[in-house]
Every structure is written in C-alpha cells, then in structure tokens.
Homo-oligomer: A and B are copies of this chain.
C-alpha cells in the first residue's frame, strides 16, 4: 500500500512517520473541531501533539497537509474494513449487509474525523481534493460491484442504470451516521441504526417475498 501522496518528509523510517503523523492527526482533529480549522494555529497543533514546531514540520508542511492526512486515514480504514468482507464469497445480499455494517462501524469509530471532512473538504488543496475524491469513488465502487453481482445472480432487483446512484446513496447513508449524529443518536443506538438502514436497503433490493 502506498502512502499519502505529495507530503514530503526527510524522515526515513516509514513506521515512525506513520506513528508520528497519527499523533498529529489525533491532536489536530480535536482542535479543528473545537476551534475550527482556520482558527487553529500550527503552534497549537505542535503543543497538542507534544512536538516542537520544528519536529512538527518534519512530518507535515502545512495545516492543509493534516487535513489531507485525515482524509487519507479515513479512507484507508474504510478500505481495510471492506477488504475483510470482500474476500468472503458470501451471497450478494449477505455481503452487502456485512459491507454496510463494516462501513458504518468505521464511521462510528472515526465520527469526528468524518464530520470534520464534511465541513472542511473545501479547505483541501485542489490536488489533495482530487486525490480524496478519487479515493471516495473507490469506496462507492465496492458497493456498485456488490449490487452488480447481486443483479447478475438474480438476488437483487434493480434497474442496471440505477446501480451507481444506489451505491452513492449507500455510502451517504453510512456517513450520515456521522454528519447527522445530532438527530440520529437521540433516536438510535449504533446497532439499531445499522439494522434499520439495512432493512430499508434490502426492502429496496430484494423481491418482496424475501424481505
């Protein structure tokens, strides 16, 4: 797996880079959420991640770099969560259920990060934004592929034209657990949310008798 693009470092040990950057990400997400991205200074980030400013700049070159690292990290964990499901050779409906569950679970564990990205995508550099959007498209494609297989195997009923949009919907309804948490967490536990969204999703895809 290749690392995040375009963020130079002179530090040679890739594991050390990953570890330190993770420390920087954790401190920054808290600050960005409580103070806002624009109001947070690099000095505060250094302080919160317990580095000197000098050390901080060995791992990132700007606040925008950190935002990109947050996106990269979310995406990496989503992919890791989904990869474990995809090798499983389950029927398409079971695979869809499990993939949706994994995605929501990752989002639940990183909900501050996901919320931050919904709010601050605009602050990414054009290059980073391009990379992030391409990576998000890969996540959507995982779901489109499951839908396609389910259609071919006669498990799902869906107009082939609608598969891409349905895949977008699924990813958005998973991310909604983070970006609408103010409304959803008053009503549902994580488990209830996954179960009910899955039920709605399958009622859309399975022939009626099987729902």
Return chain B residues, CB-CB under 8 Å to A172: 172-173, 176, 180
Copies of this chain assembled into the complex: 2
Tell me whether A12 is interfacial, beta carbon within 8 Å: no
Tell me whether A200 is interfacial, beta carbon within 8 Å: yes
Tell me whether A184 is interfacial, beta carbon within 8 Å: yes
Our pick among B120, B157, B200 for the contact of A119 (Cβ within 8 Å) is B120
Q: Of A22-30, A59-67, A201-209, which stretch is located at the interface?
A: A201-209
Tell me whether A57 is interfacial, beta carbon within 8 Å: no
Contact check, B157 vs A200: say whether CB atoms are below 8 A apart: no
Task: Give residues in A with beta carbon < 8 Å to B.
Answer: 33, 36, 38-39, 118-120, 122-123, 133, 136-137, 157-159, 161-162, 164-166, 168-169, 172-173, 176, 179-180, 182-184, 187-188, 193, 196-197, 199-200, 203-204, 207-208
The 4 closest A-B pairs by CB, nearest first: A204-B204, A38-B38, A208-B208, A119-B119
